[in-house]
Amino acid sequence: MNDPRGDAGAPVFTVNSDGACDDAGLLRRIGQGDEDAMAAFYREHGRVVLAQVLLVTGERVLAEEIVQDTMLAVWRGAGSFRGESSVRSWVIAIARRQTRDRLRHQRLRVVDDAFLADQPGSGPGPEVTALDRAELAEVKGAIRELALPHREVLGLAFGSGLSLPEVAGVLDIPVGTVKSRLAAARTALSRILDEKGQDQ
């Protein structure tokens, strides 16, 4: 398979009425060995998958290797996609398994989650006032202090833009648990930022 990052001509792929790439159509074409479809898939999802993997690994080179492994798994398994979830949550679930397998015998490290600081929330929450007052460096530091499950749920919900049911599917937990974990993460982030503000 050629490197999916290559841009050998503009691939032709189906577009939905809302202008979004027809990911299921791309997967069908990938399953038939269409390398242009794989390149289009990589362009559509590669950055989001990399951001999510980097959230867990904290190492750019390792994260890029895992993304390549993920895209290879997509190339090999595109025909197995049954449409029971969105394509984005399906590929992130693959990336999550690839990451877990790579890190199984390694100690997880605290990660630089700076990209989360730039992601807009889907609605107002208890952290909005604190985020408005906080400097970027404070936000980065506060995110680093969150537990991995909280960083991960924030990354999936805000960084990757998945719906709550999709986050639940990726994490293999009930939607109610996603909601409570997300609320706890937002509250913890707000508390950390408030404490940092009081220390100044």
pLDDT value for 160: 77
- How many Cα atoms within 13 Å fall on the side-chain side of residue 152? 21
Say if residues 127 and 190 touch (Cβ distance below 8 Å).
yes
- Closest-CA residue to 65 (of 55, 76, 74, 57): 57
Q: Are 111 and 82 in contact (CB under 8 A)?
A: no
Q: Read off the pTM.
A: 0.59
What are the tokens at 62?
A: 């390792």
**Domain residue spans in the chain?**
23-103, 114-199
Residue-level pLDDT at 148: 83
Q: Can you tell me the distance from the alpha carbon of 88 to that of 72, in angstroms, rounded to the nearest whole number?
A: 16
Question: Residue 135's pLDDT is what?
Answer: 54
Q: Which fold has domain 23-103?
A: Rna Polymerase Sigma Factor; Chain: A (1.10.1740)
Q: What is the pLDDT of residue 39?
A: 92
CATH topology of domain 114-199: Arc Repressor Mutant, subunit A (1.10.10)
Question: By the 8 A CB rule, do 197 and 132 touch?
Answer: no
For residue 171, the model assigns a pLDDT of 87
**Angle at the Cα of 64 from the Cα atoms of 61 and 67, rounded to 5 degrees:** 155
What is the C-alpha separation between 187 and 125, in angstroms, rounded?
Answer: 9
Per-residue pLDDT of the chain in tens (200 residues, 90 and over written 9): 444 444 443 333 333 433 344 888 999 999 999 999 999 999 999 998 998 888 788 788 888 999 999 999 999 999 888 888 889 889 998 998 898 888 875 644 444 445 444 444 444 454 444 444 445 566 667 777 888 888 888 878 877 778 889 888 888 889 999 899 888 888 888 888 777 666 65
